[in-house]
C-alpha cells in the first residue's frame, strides 16, 4: 500500500520544529539559497526523491527544496539515524516522510519503495541505496530489495520511471564509490553529481563534521575519559583524519591503520603511530573504523583485544566491524547502557559495541553539526537546481560538483561568517598566467 507519509508519532512535531529552528540558526548559506529559491522557484513542478539521514539539518535542506517549488519525498538512509521529532515536523510541513528510528530491513526498503513510487525527477542519495534499488527494479532483478519494494509499488513501469529521472546527487564517499562502479560497468542510467567530492563538502563535513560528531557519539554512549586512552582509527581518509585529530585533542594516544601507503605515511608525518590492525588490536582501548570497507575488524582482531575494548564505526555501512564474527565469538550479550552492547567472549574478555556498529555519530549522537551541513546541503540544493536545468543534456556518469557552485558555497559561507579575503590585482593575475618573469 502506498502511503502519503510513514513516521513514528506526529505528536512529536512541536519538538521537531524547535530542533529545526535551532539548525536553521546555524545554516545561513542554505537560508540564503532558500530566499533565492522562494523568489525564482527553480524547482517548480519537480518531484525530488531523497534518501538521507532524517535529521534537523536534512529538514532545512528539504524545506529549502520545497521553497523552490519541489514536491519532496524523503526516506531514511539508515535504519537507526532518524530523529523522529524532526520527521513528524516535516510531515506537518507537507514533506512526504517515510522514516523512523529503529526500522527493520523490510521497513527500510519499503520506505525507499515509497520514494520510488513518487516517480522522482531528481534523486538525492546518501550511500546509494535509493539509486541502486531503482536500477535493480528497472533491470528486472529479483533481489531482497526489489522483492520488498514491489510489495509497495506493485508492478510499475520501472523502465519509464527511470527514464524520467533527470539526474541525482550523492552525499557520501561510499555512495560515490558504488555509483562509480555502476558507471564503470555501464549500468548507470542517469547522471549523478558527487556532492561528496566538492571541496566545500569533504574538507569540512567528512573531516571536521565527522571528526567532532564521532567523538560526541562515543562520549554520549559511554561517558568514558578519552585522555590517556589508546584510540585506534582505521582508515586515514577525510573522515579518519578528522577523528584522529579530535581524539588526539582530547588527550588520547592515537594509532592509525591504513592499506594505502601514501595515506599511512601522511598519518605518520601528522604525528600518529601507524601499524597493522593485528598489532593495534592488542593495545587499543577504543576502535573506530572509517574506511568505507568491509570486515576491517574481524574475528582474528577481536580475539586479541583487551578486556573492555570499545568498538564502533563511522563509515557508512555496518560492515566495517564484522558483527557476525562478534556474535560467533560471544557466549553472552547484554545491553549495558543505551547504544552499548557488551559481548562476553569465550576467552572471558568483554568487548563493547556502540550503536550496533552503525554510524556512531548519527546513532549515538545527532550527526554532524549544522554549521558543516550548511555547506554540504548548499551544494545539494544548488546541484539539484543544476540537474533540473542541465540533467537531460548530461550523459549517465558520475560528475563533480560544478566548480562555480563549490566556489559560491565557500564565498557565501565566508560572507555569512563575516570573513573577508584578498583579491588578485590585475598584475598578479597576469603574473600567475605567465612564464616570463623569474627572480628580480
Ligand atoms: P576516503 O576514501 O577518503 O578514506 C578511506 C580510507 O580508508 C582510505 O585512505 C583507504 O585507503 C582506507 N582503507 C580502506 N580499506 C582499509 C582497511 N581495510 N584498513 C585500513 N584502512 C583502509 O573516505 P572518507 O571520505 O574518509 O569516508 C570513509 C567512510 O566514512 C565512507 O564510508 C563514507 O561514506 C563515510 N562517511 C561517514 C560520515 C558520517 O557521518 N559518519 C560522513 C562522511 C563520510
**What does the alpha-carbon distance between residue 195 and residue 400 come to, in Å, rounded to a whole number?**
7
**What does the alpha-carbon distance between residue 403 and residue 417 come to, in Å, rounded to a whole number?**
21
83 with 146, same domain: the answer is yes
231 with 379, same domain: the answer is no
Residues with Cβ within 8 Å of residue 379, at least 6 apart in sequence: 195, 198, 200, 201, 401, 405, 406, 409
Distance 83 CA to ligand 1 centre (A): 24
- The verdict on residue 140 lying in a domain is yes
377 with 291, same domain: the answer is no
166 with 269, same domain: the answer is no
Domain boundary among 364, 382, 408: 364
- The verdict on residue 427 lying in a domain is no
Of 430, 407, 440, 400, the residue nearest 195 (C-alpha) = 400
353 with 379, same domain: the answer is no
- pTM score above 0.85: yes
30 with 171, same domain: the answer is yes
Largest CA distance in the chain: 76
Sign of the dihedral defined by the CA atoms of residues 104, 110, 112, 115, in that order:
negative
Ligand 1: atom nearest CA of 292 is 32
29 with 153, same domain: the answer is yes
Distance 239 CA to ligand 1 centre (A): 6
Structural domain tally of the chain? Answer: 2
Strand 192-194 vs strand 167-170: parallel, antiparallel, or unpaired? parallel
Please report where in the chains the cell 545561513 appears, as a residue.
28
H or E stretch including 51?
strand 47-52
Domain boundary among 303, 333, 364: 364
- 52 φψ region: left (φ > 0), alpha (ψ -120 to 50), beta (else): beta
190 with 237, same domain: the answer is no
- The verdict on residue 428 lying in a domain is no
The sheet with strand 340-345 has its strands ordered as 273-274, 253-257, 230-234, 286-289, 310-313, 350-354, 340-345, 330-337
Chunked mean pLDDT (size 10), the chain, 440 residues: 91 98 98 98 98 98 98 97 98 98 97 97 98 97 97 94 98 97 98 98 98 98 98 98 98 98 98 98 98 98 98 97 98 98 97 98 97 98 98 97 98 98 97 94
Would you list the DSSP string of 25-37?
HT-HHHHHHHHHH
* 3-state secondary structure at position 337: strand
C-alpha distances in angstroms, 154 versus 50, 137, 324, 372?
20, 11, 33, 39
User: What pLDDT sits at residue 1?
Assistant: 67
- The verdict on residue 439 lying in a domain is no
Domain boundary among 324, 339, 364: 364
**What does the alpha-carbon distance between residue 229 and residue 286 come to, in Å, rounded to a whole number?**
7
- The verdict on residue 5 lying in a domain is no
Reading the block at residue 189, the C-alpha cell is 542510467
C-alpha distances in angstroms, 236 versus 87, 157, 182, 257, 423?
34, 44, 25, 7, 34
- The verdict on residue 108 lying in a domain is yes
Distance 35 CA to ligand 1 centre (A): 35
261 with 160, same domain: the answer is no
The preferred substitution site among 57, 58, 206 for testing ligand 1, maximizing ligand atoms within 8 Å of CB, is 206
- The verdict on residue 300 lying in a domain is yes
Ligand 1: atom nearest CA of 238 is 26
Q: CATH number for the domain including 374?
A: 3.40.50.1480
Q: Rounded to 5 degrees, what angle do the CA atoms 209, 406, 208 make?
A: 10
Distance 292 CA to ligand 1 centre (A): 4
Q: Which domain holds residue 236?
A: 207-364
243 with 211, same domain: the answer is yes
User: What pLDDT sits at residue 6?
Assistant: 96
356 with 386, same domain: the answer is no
H-assigned helices in 391-435: 403-417, 426-433
User: What pLDDT sits at residue 155?
Assistant: 87
User: What pLDDT sits at residue 34?
Assistant: 98
Q: CATH number for the domain including 259?
A: 3.40.50.720
User: What pLDDT sits at residue 408?
Assistant: 98
**What does the alpha-carbon distance between residue 63 and residue 365 come to, in Å, rounded to a whole number?**
23
* 3-state secondary structure at position 96: strand
177 lines ligand 1 (CB under 6 A): no
User: What pLDDT sits at residue 131?
Assistant: 98
Distance 146 CA to ligand 1 centre (A): 28
**Rg of the chain taking only CA atoms, in angstroms:** 22
214 with 186, same domain: the answer is no
Q: Are 329 and 43 in contact (CB under 8 A)?
A: no
Q: Rounded to 5 degrees, what angle do the CA atoms 30, 32, 36 make?
A: 110
Nearest residue by C-alpha to atom 2 in ligand 1 = 237
- The verdict on residue 438 lying in a domain is no
What is the C-alpha end-to-end distance of the chain, expressed in Å? 76
Amino acid at each position: 500500500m502506498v502511503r502519503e507519509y510513514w513516521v513514528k508519532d506526529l505528536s512529536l512535531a512541536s519538538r521537531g520544529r524547535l530542533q529545526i529552528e535551532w539548525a536553521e540558526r546555524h545554516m545561513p548559506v542554505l537560508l540564503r539559497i532558500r530566499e533565492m529559491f522562494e523568489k525564482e522557484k527553480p524547482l517548480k513542478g519537480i518531484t525530488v526523491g531523497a534518501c538521507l539521514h532524517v535529521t534537523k539539518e536534512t529538514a532545512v535542506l528539504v524545506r529549502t527544496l520545497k521553497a523552490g517549488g519541489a514536491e519532496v519525498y524523503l526516506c531514511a538512509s539508515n535504519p537507526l539515524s532518524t530523529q523522529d521529532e524532526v520527521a513528524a515536523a516535516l510531515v506537518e510541513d507537507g514533506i512526504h516522510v517515510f522514516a523512523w528510528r529503529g526500522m527493520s530491513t523490510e521497513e527500510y526498503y519499503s520506505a525507499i519503495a515509497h520514494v520510488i513510487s513518487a516517480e522522482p525527477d531528481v534523486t538525492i542519495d546518501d550511500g546509494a541505496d535509493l539509486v541502486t534499488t531503482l536500477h535493480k527494479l528497472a533491470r528486472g532483478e529479483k533481489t531482497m530489495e526489489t522483492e520488498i519494494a514491489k510489495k509497495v509499488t506493485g508492478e510499475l513501469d520501472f523502465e519509464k520511471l527511470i527514464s524520467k529521472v533527470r539526474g541525482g546527487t550523492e552525499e557520501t564517499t561510499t555512495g560515490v564509490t558504488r555509483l562509480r562502479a555502476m558507471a564503470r560497468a555501464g549500468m548507470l542510467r542517469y547522471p549523478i553529481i558527487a556532492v561528496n567530492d566538492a571541496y566545500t563538502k569533504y574538507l569540512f563535513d567528512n573531516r571536521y563534521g565527522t571528526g567532532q560528531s564521532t567523538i560526541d557519539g562515543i562520549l554520549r554512549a559511554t561517558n568514558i575519559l578519552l585522555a590517556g586512552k589508546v584510540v585506534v582509527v582505521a582508515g586515514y581518509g577525510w573522515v579518519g583524519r578528522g577523528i584522529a585529530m579530535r581524539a588526539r585533542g582530547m588527550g588520547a594516544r592515537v594509532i592509525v591503520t591504513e592499506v594505502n601507503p601514501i595515506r599511512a605515511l601522511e598519518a605518520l608525518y601528522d604525528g600518529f603511530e601507524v601499524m597493522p590492525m593485528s598489532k593495534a588490536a592488542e593495545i587499543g582501548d577504543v576502535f573506530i573504523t572509517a574506511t568505507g570497507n568491509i570486515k576491517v575488524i574481524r574475528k582474528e582482531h577481536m580475539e586479541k583485544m583487551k578486556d573492555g575494548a570499545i568498538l564502533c564505526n563511522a563509515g557508512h555501512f555496518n560492515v566495517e566491524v564484522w558483527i557476525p564474527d562478534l556474535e560467533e565469538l560471544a557466549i553472552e550479550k547484554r545491553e549495558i547502557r543505551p547504544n552499548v552492547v557488551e559481548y562476553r567472549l569465550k576467552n572471558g574478555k568483554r568487548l563493547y559495541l556502540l550503536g550496533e556498529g552503525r554510524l556512531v555519530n548519527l546513532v549515538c549522537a545527532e550527526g554532524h553539526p549544522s554549521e558543516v551541513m550548511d555547506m554540504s546541503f548548499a551544494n545539494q540544493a544548488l546541484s539539484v537546481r543544476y540537474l533540473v536545468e542541465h540533467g537531460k543534456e548530461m550523459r549517465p556518469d558520475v560528475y563533480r560538483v560544478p566548480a562555480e557552485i563549490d566556489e559560491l558555497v565557500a564565498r557565501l559561507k565566508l560572507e555569512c561568517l563575516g570573513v573577508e579575503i584578498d583579491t588578485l590585482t590585475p598584475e598578479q593575475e597576469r603574473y600567475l598566467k605567465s612564464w616570463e618573469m623569474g627572480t628580480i
